[in-house]
Homo-oligomer: A and B are copies of this chain.
C-alpha cells in the first residue's frame, strides 16, 4: 500500500488490523478509536466512513480474533494424524489453551462478554472442530453414543475453563507454560475418560 495516497486503499481493513494490535497489547477496554486512527495515520473522523462507531470496530476485531483462535486450532490439528482420534481431541484443547495464554487480551475479547447484535453471525468454527473430532471418536467405537450428545459442551467447558483460569483468572501465571499445559492435559483427559464406553 502506497503511503502518499490521499485515499487509503483499504482503510477499513487497516483500522481493524491496527485495532487488533492495540487490543493485543492493552486489552479492549483501553482501545480508543482515536488511538487506532493515529496508528494508521488518519483523522479520527475517517473511521466513520467504515464503522458506525467504536463498538462496530471492536466487533470486527473480535471476529478476527476468534478466527485466529480457530486457525491456531486448525494448524495444530494439521500436525496430528487423522486416525489418532484421541490425540486430536487433546490437541484441540492444547491449542486453545496455548492461544489463550499467548493472547490473553484477544482471548477475552473474542470469548468474553459478547458484543453481538440481536442479529448475530457467530463464528462456529471452534465448536465444529470439536464436533468433528468427537464424531471420529464415536465412529471408531471409542466414545459411548450415550455420551455423544453432551460431549462437545463437556470438553469445550473444561478447556475454556482452564484457559480462562490460567490466562487471566485466579490461577494466572501458574508455574510456566509446561506446567500449564500439563494442567490442560489433566483436565481434558479426565473429561475424555468420563466420555468413554464403559
Is A187 interfacial (CB-CB < 8 Å)?
A: yes
A170 touches B114 (CB 8 A): yes
| CB proximity of A167 to chain B, nearest CB, Å | 9
A160 located at the interface, meaning its Cβ lies under 8 Å from any Cβ of chain B in the complex = yes
Contact of A187 among B150, B183, B196, B198 (CB under 8 A): B150
In this complex, which of A153, A168, A172 has the most chain B Cβ atoms within 10 angstroms of its Cβ? A153
**Interface residue count on the A side (C-beta < 8 Å):** 40
What residue of chain B has the Cβ atom nearest to residue A164's Cβ? B164
Most chain-B Cβ atoms within 10 A of its Cβ — which of A111, A160, A161? Answer: A161
Instruction: Give the copy number.
Output: 2
Shortest CB-to-CB span from A90 to chain B, Å, is 14
Residues of B within 8 A of A168 (CB): 112-114
Distance from A150 Cβ to chain B, minimum over Cβ atoms (Å): 4
A192 on the interface (CB 8 Å rule)?
Answer: yes
Q: Produce 1/0 per residue, A126-156, CB < 8 A to B.
A: 0000000000000000000001001101101
Q: Please state if B113 and A108 are interface contacts (CB–CB under 8 Å).
A: yes
Per-residue interface assignment for chain A, residues 45 to 80, with 1 indicating a CB less than 8 Å from any chain B CB and 0 otherwise: 000000000000000000000000000000000000
